[in-house]
Amino acid sequence: MDVCIRKQLIVTCSKDRTVKIWNYVTKTLELSYALTEDSYAVAFHPSGFHIVVATGDKILLMNVLSKSLHPFKNFQMKGCHEVKFSHGGHLFAAAYNNTIFVYNFYTGESPPHFVCKGHVQRVRAIDWFDDDMGFVSAGMGGDVFFWDLIN
């Protein structure tokens, strides 16, 4: 589940293979999209016009249209269980087991210096710094790392 910061919307994914967008003020379902495989994580772009969904074997980037969701790009990544957009929306982080890959949202690139390794167990949570220059990640084993993307 993720909350949009600029609109009154929440996005969820569930075991019934659907991604749903809810209006939390009116308490209504705005959109529903059926996937062909299980989804494990979802995140709203800060603009509210895009989402990223982690499925069983890929990461889907989707446009949020007025009446539907439209996939426009995907990356092969099996077993991603955590995704998170930066505050500016130009980057997003995707965790695969104990490694975090940071992607440029607009180009789809993930340069080698944007691959963050170090956790002993699977990554549980990611939270970006306010200035988007890095992020904090927490692992299932209790370890916490601070990642600086500028160096």
Average pLDDT, rounded, for the chain = 95
Q: CA 132: distance to chain centroid?
A: 15
List the domain range (segments joined by +) for residue 61. 2-148
Kindly state the average pLDDT of the residues 69-79.
Answer: 92
pLDDT in the model for residue 151: 63
Residue 35 confidence (pLDDT) above 80: yes
> What distance, in Å, lies between the first and last C-alpha atoms of the chain?
31
Name the domain count of the chain.
1
pTM equals 0.92
Q: CA 113: distance to chain centroid?
A: 19
pLDDT in the model for residue 26: 97
Residues 82-138 pLDDT 10s:
999 999 999 999 999 999 999 999 999 999 999 999 999 999 999 999 999 999 999
Q: Which of 32, 17, 22 shows the shortest CA–CA distance to 1? A: 22
CATH number at residue 57: 2.130.10.10
